[in-house]
Chains A and B, each alone.
Chain A
Amino acid sequence: MTHKTLVQIAKDLAAGKYSSREITQDIIADIKARDAVYNSFISLSEDLALGQADAADARIKVGNADILTGVPFAHKDLFCTQGHTTTAASKMLANFVPPYESTVGQRLLSAGAVCVGKTNMDEFAMGSSNESSFFGAVKNPWDLNAVPGGSSGGSAAAVAAGLVPAATGTDTGGSIRQPASFCNLTGIKPTYGRVSRFGIIAYASSLDQAGPMCQTAEDAAIMLNAMAGFDEQDSTSVQQETPDFTAELNLPLHGLKVGLPKEFFGPGLNPQVAECIMAAVKEIEKLGAQIIDISLPNLELSIPAYYVIAPSEASSNLSRFDGVRYGYRCDKPENLMDLYCRTRAEGFGTEVKRRIMVGTYALSEGYYDAYYVKAQRIRRLIKDDFARALSQVDVIMGPVAPTPAFDLGSNTKDPVAMYLEDIYTLSANMAGIPAMSAPAGFVNGRPVGLHIMGNYFAEAKLLNIAHQYQQVTDWHLQTPTSNNVPVSNQEKGA
Chain B
Amino acid sequence: MALENADIEKIAVLARLQVTPSETNDYANSISSILSLMDQMQLVNTDGVEPLSNPHDATQRLRKDEVTCDNQREAFIAIAPATEDGLYLVPKVID
Contacts and interface: CB of A to CB of B under 8 A. Distances in A.
Contacts of B11: 357, 360-361, 364
Interface residues of A, number: 73
Per DSSP, chain A at the interface is helix
A345 B18 CA distance: 5
A327 B93 contact: no
A235 B37 contact: no
Q: Classify the secondary structure of B's interface with A.
A: loop
Contacts of A432: 54-56
Contacts of A301: 40-41, 44
A336 B90 CA distance: 7
A379 B17 CA distance: 29
How many residues of B sit at the interface, in one of the four size bands?
35 or more
A150 B93 CA distance: 41
Interface in B7-49: 7-8, 11-19, 27, 30-31, 33-35, 37-42, 44, 46, 49
Contacts of A354: 27, 30-31, 34
A308 B18 contact: no
Interface in A363-405: 364, 370-371, 373-381, 383
Nearest to B3: A361
B51 A326 contact: no
B76 A415 contact: no
A308 B38 CA distance: 7
A431 interface: yes
B61 A235 contact: yes
B37 to A, nearest CB: 5
A356 B15 contact: yes
Interface string A439-452: 00000000000000
B80 A345 contact: no
A331 to B, nearest CB: 11
Given A377-B50, A380-B50, A419-B37, A324 B56 contact: no
Contacts of A319: 16
B2 interface: no
B31 A358 contact: yes
B60 to A, nearest CB: 6
Contacts of B14: 360, 364
Given A301-B41, A303-B37, A354-B27, A96 B79 contact: yes
A378 B17 CA distance: 30
A47 interface: no
B72 interface: yes
B82 interface: yes
Interface string A339-369: 1111011001000011011101110100000
9 contacts: A97-B79, A99-B72, A193-B55, A334-B91, A336-B91, A337-B16, A370-B42, A383-B52, A415-B30
Question: Closest 9 A-B residue pairs measured CB to CB?
Answer: A432-B55, A376-B51, A329-B81, A377-B46, A99-B75, A345-B18, A380-B52, A341-B18, A360-B15
Interface of A: 96-99, 192-193, 206, 232, 235-236, 238-239, 298, 300-301, 303-305, 307-308, 315, 319, 322-329, 333-342, 344-345, 348, 353-354, 356-358, 360-362, 364, 370-371, 373-381, 383, 414-416, 419, 430-433, 456
Given A301-B40, A336-B90, 18 more contacts: A98-B79, A99-B76, A236-B54, A238-B56, A304-B41, A305-B41, A323-B81, A326-B79, A326-B80, A357-B15, A361-B31, A375-B38, A376-B53, A378-B44, A379-B52, A380-B51, A383-B55, A432-B55
